[in-house]
Amino acid sequence: MHGNQLTADRAVDDRILIIDYDRYLSGSSEQRLKDILSEKQVIIEKNSDASLNEANYVFLLVESVSLESLGWIEGVLGQLRGVKVLVVTVGRPKASLVPYISNRLNGILSLHSLYTYGSAIIDTLNKYGFFLEQNLHGDLVHQLHDQKLRDRPIKRLVLRKEEVQYRLTKNECSVLQHILDGHNNRNIAELMYLAPSTVSTVISHLLKKLGANDRTDAMVKIIRNGWVDALR
C-alpha cells in the first residue's frame, strides 16, 4: 500500500498541467510543448474547470490579460495549495500581473519563454520556487519599493502643478496646496499676503473648476485624479 502511495505521489510530482484558457494552442503547439517538457508528463486542458490538484506544476495560459482572465486567475489561485502556479501569456507579460506574485503565484512568463527555456524553467522553480520573465524584473522592484513606502506615514501631500497648470491659475494652485497642508482661510490669507475675502473668492472659483462641493471634496477629487504626490 505504501509503495502504491509513493508511486502516486511521484506521478503527481512529475505532472505539468497546462490550462489553455482561451483555447489558443493548436495540436502542433501542444505537441511542441510536450516535446520540450518531455521529462515530465504534460497534460493540456482546454477546460478551465480541470482537476487542479493532480499536478505539481500548473501553467495558466491566457491569450491576453483582461478583467475576465484576471478573475479566472484569482479564482484558481484561491483554490490551490502546495502547487506551483505560473501565468503564461501569449504575448509579452504585462506589469498588471506583478501584484499577483504575493498571492501564491510562482511565476509569470511568455509562451515564447516556455518554448525557449522549457525544462530550465522547471529547474528554476524547483531550486528557487519562482520564475519571472526578465522584462518584468524592473516592475517587481518598483512594486516592492512602493509597498515599502506604503508602510511609512504620509508627511505631506504635494500638488503636482504640471498636472493642473492649464486648469488652474497660479493663485488657485497656491491656495490648493495650502488647503492640502491643512490651513484654514485666515492662515492662507496671511501666508499669501491676501485679504481673506480674496482667498474666499479664489476658493469659490477653485471648487467650481474642480466640480467640488467643499474643500474636503476638492481634496478627494484631486487625489483620485492623481494630481498629488504623497511625501513619506
Cβ–Cβ < 8 Å for 121, 113: yes
Cβ–Cβ < 8 Å for 86, 112: no
Q: Name which of 114, 82, 90, 99 is nearest 21 in CA terms.
A: 90
Q: For the chain, what's the residue count?
A: 232
DSSP 61: E
165-217 confidence digits (pLDDT tens): 888 999 999 999 999 888 999 999 999 999 999 999 999 999 999 888 888 88
Instruction: Tell me the domains of the chain and their CATH numbers.
Output: 2-137 (3.40.50.2300), 156-231 (1.10.10.10)
Q: How far apart are CA 13 and CA 164, in angstroms?
A: 57
Q: How far apart are CA 196 and CA 72, in angstroms?
A: 56
**How would you class 29 by CB atoms within 10 Å of its CB: exposed for 0-12, middle for 13-18, buried for 19 or more?**
middle
38-73 confidence digits (pLDDT tens): 989 999 998 766 666 678 899 999 998 887 888 888
pTM for the complete prediction? 0.58
Query: Mean pLDDT score of the chain, rounded to an integer?
Result: 83
The three cell numbers of residue 202 are 479664489
